[in-house]
């Protein structure tokens, strides 16, 4: 019995470690970081599951939310014995020849600009969506400023043309999004109204404030008419979050695919019926699952198990809904597919 207990004590840590570290068969021994690399991409070079990055680096929550410690020129080393990664200095500085302990852990640099640090995912995939879309309650929509007239002789607003709006305040600044109320999101299980999505139309500058304010259209993406609304232009927040699994059990449903398409592939944007109130945060990565098919055999009906098909990265969070980028998928994602803690 004593031998069995000793064996269990020996094997359990190994099994737990194996769950964290699964090295790819084609993983390199080292990788020199270059401009354009991402934390997700580098993690995927070494490990089967990029989500294991925080575990491998033993990153705390402070580092996860401000991961400015890896830069172009750094050499990422793989220790196959422990399954861990380390930064071995700058490939161009000769630091890789040294083995000081201070060079083998994530660290902040005082000499490098944080703008040079690599990001968690590629910005080009989500940049247009960092300040849009918007989700507002119907009460909020009633209080948003609206266009009451266009430049004389105009039926629709064009770029560098004037419009007139009621309800603008100078305290909110001069940069505004032009939007139109879209569909109301509803929870597919409870029927609860989660908020109404804003259809993004363009951008305008307020050039005069008053009871009736004057706007100049700077960007026009869709047709803009009288009655369309204005929402203060939000500053884009940096997305320097290490992709990580939620620490709680999240179960969400895909309720919409951005731009109105019915099927979504890699790099598409999906909307989930869970948000900040449910524990979802920016940087969370969720597993995507397709609902099991209904099959019939020998006169009996069966439901096949749900199948994991990919992963999605949450980048924009509202109280009751969130938006995520599909990082990878084996099959097209559709409305009613599930997203959950991996």
pLDDT at 148: 94
* pLDDT higher than 70, residue 55: no
User: What pairs with residue 31 in β-bridges?
Assistant: 76
Contacts of 239 (CB under 8 A, 6+ apart): 119, 120, 121, 123, 126, 130, 282, 283, 315
pLDDT digits (tens, 9 = 90+) for 81-104: 877 777 765 555 554 444 443 444
Q: Which of 9-18, 117-126, 182-191, 321-330 has the lowest mean pLDDT?
A: 9-18
Band (70; pLDDT cuts 50, 70, 90): confident
41 vs 89, higher pLDDT: 41
The pair of structure tokens assigned to 97 is: 């020849």
19: left (phi over 0), alpha (psi -120 to 50) or beta: alpha
Distances (CA, A) of 297 to 293, 303, 306, 307: 13, 11, 18, 20
Task: Give the position of tokens 């869970």.
Answer: 274
Pair 37, 118: CB distance under 8 Å: yes
Band (23; pLDDT cuts 50, 70, 90): confident
User: What pairs with residue 231 in β-bridges?
Assistant: 177
* pLDDT higher than 50, residue 338: yes
Q: Which of 5-14, 165-174, 199-208 has the lowest mean pLDDT?
A: 5-14
Architecture of domain 251-340: Beta Barrel (2.40)
pLDDT digits (tens, 9 = 90+) for 115-127: 577 777 776 667 7
pLDDT at 236: 65
75 vs 13, higher pLDDT: 75
Mean pLDDT of 130-145: 83
* pLDDT higher than 50, residue 62: no
d(CA 325, CA 312): 5
d(CA 315, CA 237): 10
pLDDT at 319: 94
Q: Strands, DSSP E only, in 209-299?
A: 212-220, 229-232, 251-257, 263-264, 269-272, 285-290, 294-297
Question: Which ranges in the chain are annotated with CATH 2.40.10.410?
Answer: 251-340
pLDDT at 87: 74
Pair 71, 62: CB distance under 8 Å: no
* pLDDT higher than 60, residue 220: yes
Question: What is the DSSP code (8-state) at residue 111?
Answer: S
d(CA 196, CA 318): 11
User: What pairs with residue 326 in β-bridges?
Assistant: 312
pLDDT digits (tens, 9 = 90+) for 226-268: 999 999 887 766 666 667 889 899 999 999 998 777 888 888 8
Q: Strands, DSSP E only, in the chain?
A: 30-32, 74-79, 84-90, 135-136, 146-150, 162-166, 175-186, 193-208, 212-220, 229-232, 251-257, 263-264, 269-272, 285-290, 294-297, 300-303, 307-317, 322-329, 333-334, 338-340
14 vs 31, higher pLDDT: 31
pLDDT at 267: 84
* pLDDT higher than 70, residue 18: no
Mean pLDDT of 290-309: 86
Query: CATH number of the domain at 131-232, out of 2.40.10, 3.40.50, 2.40.50, 3.40.630?
Result: 2.40.10
């Amino acid at each position: 019995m004593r031998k069995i207990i000793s064996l269990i004590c020996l094997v359990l840590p190994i099994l737990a470690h194996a769950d964290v570290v699964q090295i790819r068969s084609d993983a390199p021994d080292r990788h020199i970081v270059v401009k354009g690399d991402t934390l997700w991409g580098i993690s995927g070079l070494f490990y089967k599951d990029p989500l294991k990055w925080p575990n491998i680096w033993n990153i705390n929550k402070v580092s996860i939310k401000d991961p400015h410690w890896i830069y172009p020129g750094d050499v990422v080393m793989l220790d196959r014995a422990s399954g861990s990664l380390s930064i071995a200095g700058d490939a161009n500085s000769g630091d890789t020849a040294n083995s000081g302990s201070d060079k083998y852990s994530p660290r902040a640099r005082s000499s490098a600009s944080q703008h040079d640090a690599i990001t968690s995912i590629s910005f080009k995939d989500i940049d247009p969506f960092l300040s849009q879309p918007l989700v507002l309650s119907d009460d909020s929509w009633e209080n948003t400023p609206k266009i009451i007239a266009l430049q004389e002789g105009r039926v629709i607003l064009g770029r560098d043309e004037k419009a007139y709006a009621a309800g603008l305040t100078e305290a909110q600044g001069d940069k505004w999004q032009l939007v139109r109320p879209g569909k109301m999101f509803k929870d597919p299980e409870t029927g609860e109204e989660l908020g109404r999505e804003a259809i993004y139309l363009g951008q305008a500058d307020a050039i005069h404030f008053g009871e009736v304010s004057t706007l100049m259209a700077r960007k026009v993406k869709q047709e803009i008419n009288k009655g369309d609304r204005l929402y203060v232009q939000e500053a884009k927040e940096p997305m320097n979050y290490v992709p990580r699994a939620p620490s709680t059990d999240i179960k969400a449903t895909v309720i919409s695919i951005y731009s109105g398409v019915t099927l979504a592939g890699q790099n598409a944007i999906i909307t989930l019926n869970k948000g900040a109130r449910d524990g979802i945060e920016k940087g969370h990565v969720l597993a995507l699952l397709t609902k099991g098919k209904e099959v019939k055999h020998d006169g009996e009906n069966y439901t096949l198990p749900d199948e994991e098909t990919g992963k999605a990265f949450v980048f924009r969070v509202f109280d009751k809904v969130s938006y995520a980028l599909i990082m990878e998928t084996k099959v097209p994602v559709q409305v009613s597919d599930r997203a959950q803690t991996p």
